[in-house]
Structures are given as structure tokens and as C-alpha cells.
Amino acid sequence: MTRNWAGTHDYAAAHIISTSTEAEVRRVLAATTGPVHALGTRHSFTDLPDTTGTLLDLSGLSGDFSLSAGAVRVAAGTRYGVLASWLDEQGLALHNLGSLPHISVAGATATGTHGSGDGNGVLTTAVRSIRFITFDGDVREVRRGEPEFAALAVGVGAFGVVVSLELETQANYRMRQDIYTGVSWGAALDALDDLTGAGYSVSVFTRWLGKSIGAVWVKTRLATDGDPVAGALLDGVLDAEAAPLGELADVTEIGGVPGPWMLRLPHFRLDGTPSFGDEIQSEYFVAREDAAAALAAVRELGPLIEPLLFVSELRTMSADELWLSPAFGRDSLAIHFTWRNEPRAVHEVLPKIEAALAPFGARPHWGKLHGLTRADVERVHPRLADARAVFQRYDPEERFVNDHLVRVGVR
């Protein structure tokens, strides 16, 4: 396959080489010259993981789990859903999962991908160590607390090929999922913290138009399966019949049914089709303190946005100290757009959204479509130049440089 999972980007690489072991990655890097880049489960919507040279397909570099001192070592190409199932069998869990369990551990953490929850960091905040191969086939490992870890943790493939990571674990837990409908925009913007703090993980699905904000998907972490949940949320009500993603059938079980964490934190089942499929995605992150004003600004564009949209999702995450994380230094709200596959129309509306969010220092998701320039990204990521210098030290021959990384100022 030479396209991303949604079929919206064709890879330009001259060669795609599949690897299934660390030794194979080392051999390829030592034996080839010119540009190279790692490719995971192909969930990026741009040319971020692309190259004119050689793509290393790491989807076969999976499994080989091992536990040590409260952490799990996992191969880079492992999908989160596979890891989560194995951990649950060991009585363990992760602090959070993304909406799609299909994504690879290395790809998701390298781009600052996230789930939701006011108190939950992006997925990368669980990383304790990163093992990677440099341009010349050398093996390196950087651990949390070491000087360059903050640069490399969300490293967007700009310094080497990550082959395995250690992730922090905790005891496994159970959850339930409930949908609230009828919450008005006015109530939501007046009490946004109450809305996003209604559960361990909260997602709001909106189409921007009308008086109601849409469906509020609340994931509650349970002490016992009999724990009650509220019958109302702001001016909305618990709705046992609601289907927040409409016709999509491959969602995890809702309706308040208790279940294990790894079958409730994601929105979609690992054995099903992720999201809508034939789609384009964009996402922007603003500080929580600016969230209500930013949402009001985007809502003004609702008539332009809605015809192109499958759905928008609003999620939160806590601040971290990872230099290229979308939540670096600030508790954040993510404003996500799942677009219909209409590239020309989407490219026309994105500048309007970005202009509306510019006063709030909106940061783009590294793996999703946006139009921000190098100067724009420099303005919203205060440690970008520092991260770029670290990447240059690890990759002085610039083998991991591609057009996308230059365009956004990472290399």
C-alpha cells in the first residue's frame, strides 16, 4: 500500500522497505544513503512521514512486550489496541488511549496524539524511555529526566527511527460510557470546565450550528460497576438512545454498560473500521483559559464549516513539559475536524479557521492537515528552535529531513 489509511495522501518515496526487527532497521540505515523516514500505521493526513528516498515501514515491528518497574517495553509498530489487550491480561493499564486503538505506539507518541480528560496528559506523557536508531545505524536510548528527552519525546520522526519505547503503567480499571444531549452552546461556554470535567474522559461532538452543542460523550472511571452517574449535565440530559457518531457501527459499547478500560477509552473497536474512512482530519489546540472564546470564534464560521464536515470533536488534556507537545506549558482544549474527502474545499476553509484561532496561539496537530507556516509554528511553539537544534545534533547528515519538516520549522 502506497497511501495513508484514509486514502488521502500518496507517498512519494522511491522505496518502501518493511522491517520487523531492530537489527533490520539498523541494516537498512547502515546500507542506504540519502533521505529516509519511518512509517507506522499510516494515520497521518499529510506528507509528515514521507520522503523522496526510503520509507521504513515499521508496522511489522510489533509485540515483544516486557514489564519492568511499573513500565512496559513495547516495539514501535505495535498498535495501541494490541498493547492494551495484553496489559489488561496482566492486570495493568495505561492512563489514556486515543479514540482509535489502531494507531501505532511510536507514531502516536511522536506526534503528541491524545485521548481526552482534564487531568490526562497526551499519550506521550506515559513514555519513560525511547530507544532509537540514528542515521548511521547506531542504537541510542534517552530516558525521562535526561536533558534531551523533552525534545525527543514528541520528535515527529525528525532525528532517527524509534524502535521501542517504555510506557508507564498502572493497575487496570473499569469504565462506562454515557451520552448527554441537549446541552446548549450558551450553557457550555458559560461552564466549560463543568462540561469537560464531567468524567475521566469527555468528548463533545458538534457540527457548530444550532442551539445545542451536540452530543457529550462521558467516560467514567468506576470504583464498582454499580457506581451511579448523573442524570443531567448542565442543561442537557442523559440519553440512552443517542448515537454520537450517527451511522457508524464500529464504536465501543456505550449506554452505561461497565467494561474494561481498553474497551471504553477508545471510541472505536480494534476489530472494526476506524472513524469514517474516506476523510481528511485537522486539529488545533488552544489554552484552556482561551477555550470558550476560541470556540465562539470558530462557531461564527459554522455555515462554512458544516457542509464539509462529518463531525467535530472537542477534547481536553493537561499541560506537560515536552517541547513539541500540543499541550506544552498549558492545559489545553483540542478542536478537531473530521472533513469529507473534498481537498479543495477543505483547503479553502482552513485559512479562515486558522485566522479565527490565531489570537489564541492555536497549535496544529503534527499529523493532521493545516496551513500554518514555519513562522506561524515558531510563534506558537516557544521551544521549536531548541528542539530543532537537538534534532540537528542527532542527524547532522540531515537524512531525516523532509519537505514537511522544513515547511513547519522542525528542521
Where helices occur in 40-142 by DSSP H, the ranges are 80-89, 105-110
Structural domain includes residue 97 = yes
Q: pLDDT class for 249, splitting at 50, 70, 90?
A: low
Structural domain includes residue 151 = yes
Q: Given this model, what pLDDT does residue 325 score?
A: 98
DSSP state at residue 374: H
φ, ψ of residue 351 to 5 degrees: the values are: -60, -30
Q: Given this model, what pLDDT does residue 247 score?
A: 67
In tens, the pLDDT along 212-223 reads 999 999 999 999
How many domains in the chain?
1
Report the C-alpha gap between 170 and 10 in whole angstroms.
Answer: 39
Strand partners, 133: 139, 161
Computed over every residue of the chain, the mean pLDDT equals 94
φ, ψ of residue 126 to 5 degrees: the values are: -85, -10
Q: Given this model, what pLDDT does residue 146 score?
A: 97
Residue 253, pLDDT above cutoff 70? yes
What crossing angle do the helices spanning 291-299 and 343-357 adopt, rounded to 10°? Answer: 140
Can you say how many angstroms the Cα of residue 74 is from the centroid of all Cα atoms in its chain? 18
More confident residue, 72 or 11: 72
Structural domain includes residue 112 = yes
Any idea of the CA torsion for 332, 175, 206, 356, to the nearest 10 degrees?
10
Structural domain includes residue 91 = yes
Q: pLDDT class for 1, splitting at 50, 70, 90?
A: low
Q: Which domain holds residue 145?
A: 66-171
Structural domain includes residue 254 = no
CB proximity list for 94: less than 8 A, separation 6 or greater: 83, 84, 87, 123, 126, 167, 168, 169, 170
Report the C-alpha gap between 356 and 359 in whole angstroms.
Answer: 7
Q: pLDDT class for 383, splitting at 50, 70, 90?
A: very high
In tens, the pLDDT along 256-283 reads 999 999 999 999 988 876 667 789 999 9
Retrieve residue 109's grid coordinates: 507518541
Query: Which residue matches cell numbers 540505515?
Result: 29
Report the C-alpha gap between 398 and 396 in whole angstroms.
Answer: 5
Q: Given this model, what pLDDT does residue 216 score?
A: 98
Structural domain includes residue 301 = no
Report the C-alpha gap between 197 and 123 in whole angstroms.
Answer: 19
CATH number, domain of 164, equals 3.30.465.10
